[in-house]
């Protein structure tokens, strides 16, 4: 662990990798209105990039191909994360944060949450806070449901409202294609469309032991027996999701097509990188207005 005042190479930079929900079950809605979930999460090889140039007051500059419309205000998750950490650990060193935004906004792959988690990692490194320090998890959970799992961006099971994390998993390599139809989907609208009453339960957690030790074929077979409980309500909010899933399912080499999170990003899984790259080329040709990225999930 670094001690406060230790020399740190400057500037500090980290990737904010896209989060992909390989499956997602809604277990019910608590009396306080929050929904309890269970999900197997993996992370993509693509994402945003965040740089911290200390010292000085906290500030944020956003650039990149997906920066349009993003506000630098009190609602920005990067700034919220930084200020929440300062409230929990007064006297932090700060500086200028520069976010290069490449992931679609409000797209079900945790872009904002990954950015917030990236800010916590950089500030922890600058201030000599170990990543194992419980304060980081506590602050992450305050900022957003997906922020805790994005802290170390490793495959694992997440449960509750995102605060309960299983041990990190070593999944087999998954060759994926991520596709977003260019529609921002608000999570709250999807849960509203799901329509659960306060206190309503849908079931208990699944038994998912062994996900970190199975082969790719076994993992795909397990995933085929699961699903995403938010897919149907999300398509009520954004019908274009259905077109994306239909297109992915029709690709001859596609082993599994599914929506991630609350949408609208969907993913397809393939046996190798050649198949995912070929599928990406076809989709990019046919739908140039869609965000299409082949990647590796781990």
The catalytic residues are: 19, 146
Cα 165–170–172 angle (5° rounding)?
130
Q: How far apart are CA 159 and CA 45, in angstroms?
A: 23
**Cβ atoms within 10 Å of 170's Cβ, excluding its own:** 10
- Cβ(235)–Cβ(193) under 8 Å? no
Are 114 and 68 in contact, with CB atoms under 8 Å apart?
Answer: no
Q: Is the dihedral of CA 134, 77, 232, 284 positive or negative?
A: negative
Radius of gyration, alpha carbons of the chain? 19
Nearest to 172 by CA among 134, 137, 219: 219
The strand ranges marked E within the chain are 12-29, 35-53, 59-63, 96-100, 156-160, 164-165, 174-180, 256-259, 266-270, 291-297
Q: Is 268 within 8 Å of 256 (Cβ atoms)?
A: yes
Furthest-apart CA atoms within the chain: distance in Å: 56
Strands 266-270 and 291-297, by their bridges, are unpaired
Which residues, at least 6 apart from 200, have a Cβ–Cβ distance to it below 8 Å? 28, 29
């Amino acid at each position: 662990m670094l001690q406060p005042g230790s020399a740190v190479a400057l500037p500090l930079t980290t990737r904010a990798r896209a989060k992909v929900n390989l499956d997602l079950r809604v277990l019910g809605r608590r009396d306080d209105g929050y929904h309890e979930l269970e999900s197997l999460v993996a992370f993509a090889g693509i994402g945003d990039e965040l740089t911290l140039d200390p010292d000085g007051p906290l500030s944020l500059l956003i650039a990149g191909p997906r920066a349009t419309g993003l506000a630098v205000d009190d609602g920005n998750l990067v700034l919220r994360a930084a200020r929440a950490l300062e409230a929990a650990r007064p006297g932090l060193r700060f500086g200028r944060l520069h976010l290069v935004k490449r992931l679609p906004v409000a797209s079900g792959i945790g872009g904002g949450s990954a950015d917030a988690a990236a800010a916590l990692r950089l500030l922890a490194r600058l201030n000599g806070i170990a990543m194992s320090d419980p304060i980081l998890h506590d602050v992450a959970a305050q900022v957003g449901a997906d922020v805790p799992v994005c802290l170390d961006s490793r495959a694992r099971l997440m449960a509750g409202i995102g605060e309960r994390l299983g041990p990190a998993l070593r999944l087999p390599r998954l060759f994926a294609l991520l596709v977003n139809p260019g529609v921002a989907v608000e999570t709250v609208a999807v849960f509203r469309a799901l329509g659960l009453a306060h206190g309503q339960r849908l079931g208990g957690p699944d038994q998912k032991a062994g996900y970190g030790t199975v082969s790719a074929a076994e993992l795909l077979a397990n995933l085929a027996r699961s699903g995403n409980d938010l897919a149907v309500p999300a398509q009520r909010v954004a019908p274009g999701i259905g077109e994306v899933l239909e297109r992915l399912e029709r690709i001859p080499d596609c082993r599994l097509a599914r929506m991630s999170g609350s949408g609208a990003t969907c993913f397809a899984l393939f046996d190798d990188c050649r198949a995912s790259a070929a599928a990406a080329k076809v989709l990019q040709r046919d739908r140039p207005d869609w965000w299409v990225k082949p990647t590796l999930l781990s």
